[in-house]
Structure 1
């Protein structure tokens, strides 16, 4: 039985006060398919406890059938809002560490030392590291044991700067995610059409571009873990 760690944010607002949080589908699709496989799923966050949900991700035109079913499931919502802290799970073994997105992750993922150490150990042991959308911000400052950035010379993706324009969040986000990835020496690959699914596999590193990649990302992560 595989064991997957899903990492979420604890942040509920931008600096301006506008609400943000976890983008729900970026967690629910991988959670759903892993549970269908009978795998163990652990939800954790930097501080543990409550996980705010970005209100944009639960609007009627955005909320897909799977995400809606979990949002309306009291047991799942209780599990989400009683997430374990990274400190609690830092010494556990996982087949995959998966960083779920949402703009909020740009605040509590990039500089989290526990997360960085967990990802470094996971990656260097040959086990899977996956991140989607803004969750890839949790990878940008991870350094390997030789001092190089994990994402250097890696093909990968993430929410790009033009998509921030479409989302009307360029003035809200604390930094330019696409530029930060490129600065680290990664080969940033984006979909030809913004806001469409794009998943990049580079060895045991898997990244998804945006919320529309959630379903494909989940399928690819499970397929790679099944090999």
Structure 2
């Protein structure tokens, strides 16, 4: 039975493990999605692997980025930003309360989305006929999802996610723990990218919807809404 609610997953990781850069949630990947789906009448709950506070990637707070699709308005919205101070813990989630799950990005997710606990929750979403979506590095949440039939979620699926070329252009190739592009491919995914780095690009494969980079978050939201409405 449809609930009209979407579970959105964000990171608790605020720094890279090997270098000193700060990281966290890429704010626009939450706000662009959130604003569109709530504007279409869907409810959104925000959860994280550990629950509680969500760090924001400082680079996602630059003036240029904040000017994009109203992200700055949300950053100035105290009520909205307070949602990131006390997120629900993934282990406490009841899948039956939601129609879809959406993984935001930001480099922080590379350190805490590839977990058994989060993977088990995601498998329940997919195996029960619900929609699974991600954007950018959020596809890290798809790497450890064993389905009921024993296959990895992404095996044989058409997907996208932050590319290695984009990682190099972002000057984070030496900081990330793995190549998201390579790991998706190693699991048997049919990985593809936009013609140019950082162009909006979304891939839909049934109930699996993935976006390549930060500029794809709104398009992922549009695809999720369309899928939920059949």
Whether 1:102 and 2:106 are equivalent positions in the alignment is: yes
Task: Tell me the equivalent position of 1:12.
Answer: 14
Task: Tell me the equivalent position of 2:155.
Answer: 152
- C-alpha separation between the residues in 2 aligned to 1:194 and 1:139? 22
SS at match of 1:62: helix
Are residues 183 and 32 of structure 1, via their aligned partners in 2, closer, same or farther at CA, if it must alter by over 3 Å? Answer: same
- C-alpha separation between the residues in 2 aligned to 1:40 and 1:186? 30
Q: Kindly state the Cα deviation for residue 121 of structure 1 after the two structures are TM-superposed.
A: 1.1
Task: Tell me the equivalent position of 2:195.
Answer: 192
Q: Kindly state the Cα deviation for residue 65 of structure 1 after the two structures are TM-superposed.
A: 3.9
Contact 1:90–1:114 (Cα < 8 Å) also in 2:
no
- C-alpha separation between the residues in 2 aligned to 1:50 and 1:90? 20
Task: Tell me the equivalent position of 2:222.
Answer: 219
- C-alpha separation between the residues in 2 aligned to 1:23 and 1:146? 33
Structure 2: where are the runs of 5+ without partners? none
Q: Kindly state the Cα deviation for residue 56 of structure 1 after the two structures are TM-superposed.
A: 0.7
Contact 2:102–2:133 (Cα < 8 Å) also in 1:
yes
- C-alpha separation between the residues in 1 aligned to 2:226 and 2:85? 28
Q: Which moved more, 1:114-123 or 1:7-16?
A: 114-123
What TM-score results when the alignment is normalised by the length of structure 1?
Answer: 0.96
- 1:2 equivalent among 1, 4, 23: 4
Residue by residue, what CA displacement relative to the aligned partner does 1:172-227 show, whole Å, maximum 9, x if unpaired? Answer: 00111100000000000100111100000000000000001112111111121122
SS at match of 2:70: helix
- 2:124 equivalent among 121, 126, 131: 121
What TM-score results when the alignment is normalised by the length of structure 2?
Answer: 0.95
Task: Tell me the equivalent position of 1:23.
Answer: 26
Task: Tell me the equivalent position of 1:177.
Answer: 180
Q: Which moved more, 1:91-100 or 1:185-194?
A: 91-100
Structure 1: where are the runs of 5+ without partners? none
Q: How many residue pairs get matched?
A: 226
RMSD value, Cα: 1.1
- C-alpha separation between the residues in 1 aligned to 2:42 and 2:129? 19
- C-alpha separation between the residues in 1 aligned to 2:29 and 2:142? 16
- C-alpha separation between the residues in 2 aligned to 1:28 and 1:220? 16
Whether 1:80 and 2:88 are equivalent positions in the alignment is: no
- C-alpha separation between the residues in 2 aligned to 1:81 and 1:38? 24
